Amino acid sequence: MSETVLEARGVRRSFSVSGGFMKPRRALHAVRGVDFTIRRGEVVGLVGESGCGKSTLAKLLLGLMPPSEGEILLEGAPISGQDRLETARRIQPIFQDPYSSLNPRKSIGTIIGLPLRVQTDLGGAEIARRVTETMDLVGLPARVVDSYPNQLSGGQRQRVAIARALINRPSIIICDEPTSALDVSVQSQILNLLQDLQREFGLTYLLISHDLSVVEHMASRVAVMYLGRIVEERPTAGLFAEARHPYARALLDSVLTPDPSLGIPDTHLGAAFPNPLEIPAGCSFHPRCPKAMPRCCTVAPDPLRIGDGMVECLLHAPDQHDEPEEETTR
Amino acid sequence: MAEQVLEVEGLSVDIPVTGGMLHPVQEVSLTVARGETLAIVGESGCGKSLTSLSLMGLLPSRAERRARRLSLLGEELAGKSERAMSDIRGNRMSMIFQEPMTSLNPAYTIGDQLAEPLERHTRLSRREVRERAVEMLERVGITAAASRLGQYPHQLSGGLRQRVMIAMALICNPDLLIADEPTTALDVTIQAQILHLMAELQREFHAGMILITHDLGVVARVADRVAVMYAGQIVETGTAAQIYGAPSHPYTRGLLSCIPIPGRSRPGEHLGAIPGVVPSLIGRMEGCHFADRCALVEPRCRKGDIALRDGSGSGHRYRCVLDPETPATQEAPA
């Protein structure tokens, strides 16, 4: 097994949010104990719905905010003790919106070269050479080097973001919804590019997306997040063949493949809305779960390793209530 | 055959901009029958949203709309005054927008906003209006409906807000419902629930529906008929089975090849791609609008207006001079 690039150990993050006018502040638990590793050369998908904590986890992994509890290790060493610049060199982000993630007042060449200017001692000529080389790599025409972001299309801007992330050869790239703001024909070009670059340079990606079709296409392993915890994690093929967690199952059922012979899927999820301010007791998914059992309301499931995957669901847990009875009958 | 709710022929929109005249919608013709869902699908800038706004008479004032025919249940709308249109909007034809947070007024309660179309278009008493509002909220699956009337939009989740939008759109029992990207801002599990609800209500209210979306997955599951738009024109139209089973326009085929499909597009393989960018719609354009991005382009593609021609079955039409048998394998750029 190849070496671990990035690891989260028992990571938690809470925010204090306003409870409303004249009401006390409340704690929002965005990430509630995540253990997670990404190995070199891997593409790991992280999926979940809005409010599940996936973007907070991305910020924690990028070192943009410290976890309330737990540790993040980059190539074996805790991020917290490291130099900010050095961390930034080794973990690079690609964000969702290529309109707001590029400085509108800087030229494309300046944007792409910035990581080299702040992280290295390279001279101007060498930086310019590397910028040209990287632009060529991501399929940006050399003539846009002096253009500004507003002169580029959405797909081209996302290529700029990819070039900026790649230029200083990071250990891992965290892609937070890299194609959600793009049209399908542009999305496919960006996905093809990310895949080519990954193969050519053995890059490591964490791909955060709400689009399971995209994740299935790109990732070798998928982690499904619900209300701040990873509820299932498995190699992609296994998960898509048969998800173990009812939430992962519902997510997969909700994928609308373009097949007009099929109707709208029924996910059998209740109308309850997952609210990170009021996380239900027991299994946090139980109010929406079609297979909820009485003890799901009180007992929080522990992560359970099955084969090459992990699932956090009482349906798969050894039945604790029956154990004493079995002992007496034996 | 079911009664035609909407009949549109030769709808065009012109907007004067710096540098000339923009033609975002060009000669669009479509019909919607009672109980039928027509999906207009296309990428950003193809004119699908402006088509829907022009049907509602909601274009910006400097835009000019032309149509040979634009009739709602046989009644011509093209020459109607703004005042007459506002009697029809929200009453006989209504619209659901993409982002329920921006299309609901944050300063008014849910109850006030639900009551507005009833107060504008009916003579119901205040008590009747309130009863109807509660009934409609319950109908769209909102629990504790009476207590929601006093709540503000920010107190509801995205899924609930979209349910409120649907309730508002249907409260006057419209003949035509236009839904512009109704589920794009929602999570996938909520999307499935909202699409279910819309299909159910459409059957119940027996309305015609136009669904505007960029999502080919949603279109396949929901639409009876599909119109694919590209650069202001309908480039292909037919039943959902025809469009997905025998796509005949190179753009439609390219679009379908671009989407990853779990179980079908093999992981690790390249997705299809459409190279190039959408042409500028400023000024007059000759020939096929897709010619510059089409792998199969021929000299005759660039001459004159390309008309819609008959495709694989009845009602299937596409705007291309090439025969559909021509293999359409668009190579992805390296």
Q: Does residue B215 register a pLDDT over 60? A: yes
ipTM of the complex: 0.85
Token code pair at residue B112: 């006030």
Give the pLDDT mean for A10-27: 86
Q: Which of A244 and B97 is assigned the larger pLDDT? A: A244
Q: What's the pLDDT band for A243 if we cut at 50, 70, 90?
A: very high
Check if B308 contacts A (Cβ < 8 Å): no
Q: Whole-angstrom Cα distance, residue A226 to residue A216?
A: 18
Token code pair at residue B298: 């021929």
Backbone angles phi, psi at A320, to 5 degrees: -65, -35
8 Å CB contact between B324 and B318: yes
Interface of A with B in 119-178 (CB under 8 A): 139, 153
Which of B98, B99, B187 to mutate: most A Cβ within 10 Å?
B187
Question: What is the reported pLDDT for A301?
Answer: 93
| Residues B232-244 pLDDT 10s | 999 999 999 999 9
State the count of interchain CB pairs (< 8 A) between A and B.
140
From the list A10, A47, A36, the residue with the least C-alpha distance to A252 is A47
Give the pLDDT mean for B17-23: 91
Residue A92: its H or E element: strand A91-94
Alpha helices in chain A (DSSP H): 54-61, 84-90, 108-119, 124-137, 154-166, 184-201, 212-218, 236-241, 246-253, 323-329
From the list A314, A228, A278, A179, the residue with the least C-alpha distance to A34 is A228
Question: What is the reported pLDDT for B325?
Answer: 62
Question: What is the reported pLDDT for A327?
Answer: 39
Q: Does residue B334 register a pLDDT over 50? A: no
Contact (CB<8Å) B220/A257: yes
Q: Which residues of B touch A250 (CB under 8 A)?
A: 189
Check if A200 contacts B (Cβ < 8 Å): no
B106: helix, coil or strand?
coil
pLDDT, averaged across chain A: 89
Q: At what angle do helices B158-170 and B110-121 cross, to 10 degrees?
A: 10
Residue B251: its H or E element: helix B250-258
Q: Does residue A1 register a pLDDT over 70? A: no
User: Containing domain of residue A10, as a range?
Assistant: 4-329
Contact (CB<8Å) A192/B255: no
Closest chain B CA to residue A43 = B268
B274: helix, coil or strand?
coil
Q: Encode A263-296: b = buried (16+ Cβ within 10 Å), e = exposed.
A: ebbebebeeebbebeeebebbbbbbbbeebeebb
Q: Which residues of B touch A159 (CB under 8 A)?
A: none
Q: Does residue B331 register a pLDDT over 70? A: no
| Numbers of helices and strands, H then E, in chain A | 10, 12
Q: Whole-angstrom Cα distance, residue B232 to residue B289?
A: 9
Give the pLDDT mean for A103-121: 93
Give the pLDDT mean for B86-96: 93
Alpha-carbon distances of B39 from A9, A156, B22, rounded to whole Å: 47, 29, 24
Q: What's the pLDDT band for B143 if we cut at 50, 70, 90?
A: confident
8 Å CB contact between B114 and B75: no
Nearest chain B CA: its distance from A191 CA (Å): 8
CA angle in degrees (0–180, nearest 5) for A273-A274-A275: 105
Question: What is the reported pLDDT for B1?
Answer: 58
Q: Pick the range with the lowest mean pLDDT from A11-25, A48-62, B118-132.
A: A11-25
8 Å CB contact between A176 and A208: yes
Most distant pair of Cα atoms in chain A: their distance = 80
Q: Whole-angstrom Cα distance, residue A195 to residue A186?
A: 14
Interface of B with A in 18-77 (CB under 8 A): 43-44
Give the pLDDT mean for B98-105: 80
8 Å CB contact between A74 and A5: yes
- Please report, for the domain that includes residue A233, its CATH number: 3.40.50.300
8 Å CB contact between B135 and B127: no
Give the pLDDT mean for A127-155: 93
Q: Pick the range with the lowest mean pLDDT from A37-41, A98-102, A230-234, B24-28.
A: A98-102
Q: Whole-angstrom Cα distance, residue A135 to residue A164?
A: 9
β-pairing, B233-239 vs B225-230, is antiparallel
Contact (CB<8Å) A212/B262: yes
Check if A260 contacts B (Cβ < 8 Å): yes
Question: What is the reported pLDDT for B222?
Answer: 94
Contact (CB<8Å) B267/A218: yes
Nearest chain B CA: its distance from A233 CA (Å): 18
From the list A212, A147, A173, A211, the residue with the least C-alpha distance to A94 is A173
| Residues B281-324 pLDDT 10s | 998 889 999 999 999 999 999 998 999 999 888 899 999 998 87
| CA-based end-to-end distance of chain B | 50
Q: Pick the range with the lowest mean pLDDT from A54-63, B199-208, B264-273.
A: B264-273
Q: Whole-angstrom Cα distance, residue B224 to residue B35?
A: 10
Of all residues in chain B, the percent with pLDDT exceeding 90 is 67
What's the half-sphere exposure (Cβ side, CA atoms, 13 Å) at A308?
Answer: 10
| Residues A164-197 pLDDT 10s | 999 999 999 999 999 988 888 889 999 999 999 9
Which member of B143, B255, B264 has the closest CB to residue A271?
Answer: B143
Check if B274 contacts A (Cβ < 8 Å): yes
Token code pair at residue A12: 């938690």
Which member of A213, A251, A264 has the closest CB to residue B260?
Answer: A213
Nearest chain A CA: its distance from B65 CA (Å): 27
Token code pair at residue B131: 């009863």
Question: What is the reported pLDDT for B329?
Answer: 47
Q: Whole-angstrom Cα distance, residue A236 to residue B283?
A: 49
| Residues B43-68 pLDDT 10s | 988 999 999 999 999 998 899 999 99
Give the pLDDT mean for B246-271: 87
Q: Pick the range with the lowest mean pLDDT from A13-22, A174-183, B35-44, B264-273.
A: B264-273
8 Å CB contact between A245 and A311: yes
Contact (CB<8Å) B188/A255: yes
Question: What is the reported pLDDT for A289?
Answer: 92
Say how many domains are in chain A: 1
pTM across the whole model: 0.88
Question: What is the reported pLDDT for B101?
Answer: 72
Of all residues in chain B, the percent with pLDDT exceeding 70 is 95
Which of B221, B312, B331 to mutate: most A Cβ within 10 Å?
B221
Q: What are the residues whose beta carbons fall under 8 Å from the beta carbon of A104, sequence distance 6 or more?
A: A148, A149, A150
Question: What is the reported pLDDT for B118?
Answer: 94
Nearest chain A CA: its distance from B30 CA (Å): 20
Q: Which residues of A touch B255 (CB under 8 A)?
A: 184-185
Q: Does residue A309 register a pLDDT over 60? A: yes
8 Å CB contact between B40 and B232: no
Q: Decide: residue A122, CB within 10 A, 0-12 exposed, 13-18 middle, 19+ buried.
A: middle
Q: Whole-angstrom Cα distance, residue A309 to residue A321?
A: 25
Q: Does residue A17 register a pLDDT over 90? A: no
Nearest chain A CA: its distance from B215 CA (Å): 8
Q: What's the pLDDT band for A232 if we cut at 50, 70, 90?
A: very high
From the list A207, A110, A108, A214, the residue with the least C-alpha distance to A158 is A108
Interface of B with A in 212-251 (CB under 8 A): 214-223, 240-241, 243-245
pLDDT, averaged across chain B: 90
Nearest chain A CA: its distance from B84 CA (Å): 37
Contact (CB<8Å) A183/B44: yes
Report DSSP state, residue A261: T
Check if B277 contacts A (Cβ < 8 Å): yes
Q: Which residues pair with residue B239 across a beta bridge?
A: B225
